[in-house]
Structure 1
């Protein structure tokens, strides 16, 4: 049967005819009603691309009422449900197919609908079945970081966030800690949905000061992350001092004192050591002081020399580590012995 130009026609009419004449009132079928018999139904699409303005996932549908004439289905993105300005997304390999995939990061731009056309031997159907595009956006919010690494120029601690408004399509969160230039990655952490924190290891160089958090679906990782610049906290004790009250040469004793760092909230306790140098060689523990305290007692008669101990070191200890670079002060040994003792015996 030839395809007829039906631009000016809308219905198929069937008249009964007898020996006396033709029926006045025919049976009628509109072209639009006939087209419905060859259209798929029950279109569903779940957007698994988690970026706003992008889609990705699978469109599914059910067979038309008359599937026998359908060879394949053509899926388009279109600017309206009539298929204006449409762009082909995919073609099924057979009429028995009930799904077509759309690649992640497909840009919506001006498109608002998915339209599915049936195709027969004579061509593609002019009337489609349409579905408004559901665009899923699932980015975290309130991304925060509190540096608990006690050393200057080093980072460490937990990154926390609030989950997206809907996590239906989210399976994981991916945290990257990178150089601000977007180059090397120092840390990658993956945590399942339901976990709203991830740890940056203590000792991470402050050169890696950009935190990027992506959501992940079963289809793909989000392409546009939430960004946070990481700030290094100064948690070192300052003005460490030893007031030597032991008056013997080569021995010290008294109170080791210091001033709290500007961000003492991150300090769990302080540790005080004696050592052979300012870096902590051969160190020996003097004692601990809890947050809020700023002194430790050093027992009298403690040996102090270039051979034994020459420095007092104070470290902060946070929830994640003990400081590796201490605050140090050289020991100043105070000795006070009298000299020139004389005794004149006047008892004859």
Structure 2
């Protein structure tokens, strides 16, 4: 056995030296040399180390077998959770294979090819995953590449992944305002969902001021809804001024998509158009001449924009802001001199309402006109202070100068009311007292004598009988008023 082993050893020894190539040398006293990274093995399996004198190199070297180790990553994955176009963000993960105990770190780059061309370092990690921060600019890069690195060097052949930039922004945002008060909004906010909602969890809505001159936009959170919804309700009376005590003046509504990682940084926006439709110039002149009663025509100028006004509501109230208001049930008429279908009113377009005479004023002090849309009645009306017209004559007297029984003759006199601006006639009646003189006299329609034009303060009865006066009255009825005093001052005959 001994000669055979010696022969095998001799053969193996000869094979070891059958092919070699010079690598490096070191001076006497040295105990190590460095092998540069990426040194090509050339198919060799051993290092040979020869001592050398001034005369010759030894013929029997010391040797060391080396193993060409492989360390790389596999199963590289990345899902972009930054929902803005041209921006990346999300978790990068991978597996280590082969000689992973030699890996000191992993270097992650953005590159322009699978081979890592034009790469730019983004992250270094010692773990098997790391977070690529949101809003990382994609720029011209097309690939994500990862290199395993030892303490000596980074590998030259990376593992690569083609990038897919996820974009998810809502479109066609709309918010028609049906709150007809100025600086308030109400209606249905609608939008089209993104075509790709796989990474979207919610839609976040803000009110914002994007018209600031200093270039610093201000926004305030309004509401959010889950993906799958394409609308939400903005309640009436939502303020556009100082919204949430943050936004001085709201100009836009902004909708951001939200992923599990982050809210997008560039929203879809919509310019808010504040619908303002209120009447103006409300006027009412009381033509019921009794105290504590009113009657007459109430009129107002129509709003400039009419397209969202569906009706007008008129109230009696105890203040200009609607204290203890009471809705009237009278018919409202609209007079249009312009083309109302165009959505705008003209200067002569008006609405009016006829309040019947004998309407009790009660404790009301104001008349209020509200516009109303399909959504809600406005909260701030146009108001008018009621002025109750009272016009009763005073000091009525009549000395009868006809001495025949059953006949009257003489001058009926009175003092005009202090405010006679709404008086056009004085209606003179003959009446019969029934009951207590302190109780109102009942006047029959058949007892009207005559209408005396306003400005007069006397009426002469010249030897006329009651029957003659009644016949004369029938010829004078054309002078009657629409409204007249129904609580007269009377004289006992």
TM range (shorter): 0.7 to 0.9
- 1:3 equivalent in alignment to 2:58: no
Write out per-residue CA displacement over residues 155-192 of structure 1, whole angstroms, 9 at most, x where no aligned residue: 33333211112111111111111233256545522221
Greater alpha carbon shift after TM alignment, 257-266 vs 320-329? 257-266
Match of 1:54 in 2: 87
Match of 1:104 in 2: 134
* Aligned match for 1:275, one of 296, 302, 317: 317
Match of 1:152 in 2: 182
For residues 288 and 196 of structure 1, what CA distance do their matches in structure 2 show?
A: 42
Match of 1:302 in 2: 359
Match of 2:123 in 1: 90
* Aligned match for 1:227, one of 269, 272, 278: 269
Larger Rg: 2
- 1:169 equivalent in alignment to 2:199: yes
- 1:218 equivalent in alignment to 2:230: no
TM-score of the two chains, using structure 2 as the length reference = 0.56
Match of 1:18 in 2: none
The residue correspondences of 1:169-318 to structure 2 (distance < 5 A) are 169-179=199-209, 180-181=211-212, 182=216, 185=219, 187-201=221-235, 202-206=237-241, 207-238=249-280, 240=282, 246=288, 248=290, 250-253=292-295, 256=298, 261-267=303-309, 269-287=311-329, 298-304=355-361, 308-318=363-373
For residues 119 and 91 of structure 2, what CA distance do their matches in structure 1 show?
A: 18
Match of 1:123 in 2: 153
Match of 1:27 in 2: none
Relative to its length, the structure with more strand (as a share) is 1
Shift of 1:130: 0.9
For residues 126 and 289 of structure 1, what CA distance do their matches in structure 2 show?
A: 89
SS in structure 2 at match of 1:63:
strand
Greater alpha carbon shift after TM alignment, 101-110 vs 243-252? 243-252
* Aligned match for 1:63, one of 93, 96, 108: 96
Are residues 187 and 60 of structure 1, via their aligned partners in 2, closer, same or farther at CA, if it must alter by over 3 Å?
A: closer
RMSD over aligned Cα atoms: 3.6
* Aligned match for 2:380, one of 301, 310, 325: 325
Are residues 89 and 69 of structure 1, via their aligned partners in 2, closer, same or farther at CA, if it must alter by over 3 Å?
A: same
* Aligned match for 1:138, one of 168, 190, 196: 168
For residues 165 and 4 of structure 1, what CA distance do their matches in structure 2 show?
A: 52
For residues 288 and 190 of structure 1, what CA distance do their matches in structure 2 show?
A: 44
Q: Bigger relative contact order, structure 1 or 2, given CA contacts below 8 A and separation 6+?
A: 1
Segments of structure 1 that go 5 or more residues without pairing to the other structure are 15-33
Contact kept, 8 Å, 2:174 with 2:189, in 1: the verdict is yes
Shift of 1:238: 4.8
For residues 270 and 75 of structure 1, what CA distance do their matches in structure 2 show?
A: 68
SS in structure 2 at match of 1:124:
coil
Shift of 1:105: 1.0
SS in structure 2 at match of 1:222:
coil
For residues 303 and 63 of structure 1, what CA distance do their matches in structure 2 show?
A: 92
SS in structure 1 at match of 2:113:
coil
For residues 319 and 64 of structure 1, what CA distance do their matches in structure 2 show?
A: 67
Q: Number of matched residues?
A: 322
Write out per-residue CA displacement over residues 194-253 of structure 1, whole angstroms, 9 at most, x where no aligned residue: 222234442413522222221111101111122222111122235655586756554334
- 1:39 equivalent in alignment to 2:69: no
Contact kept, 8 Å, 1:154 with 1:232, in 2: the verdict is yes
Shift of 1:91: 2.8
Shift of 1:50: 0.9
Contact kept, 8 Å, 2:330 with 2:355, in 1: the verdict is no
Greater alpha carbon shift after TM alignment, 248-257 vs 221-230? 248-257
For residues 168 and 290 of structure 1, what CA distance do their matches in structure 2 show?
A: 54
Contact kept, 8 Å, 2:316 with 2:325, in 1: the verdict is yes
SS in structure 2 at match of 1:64:
strand
Contact kept, 8 Å, 2:37 with 2:153, in 1: the verdict is no
For residues 465 and 170 of structure 2, what CA distance do their matches in structure 1 show?
A: 96
Shift of 1:129: 0.7
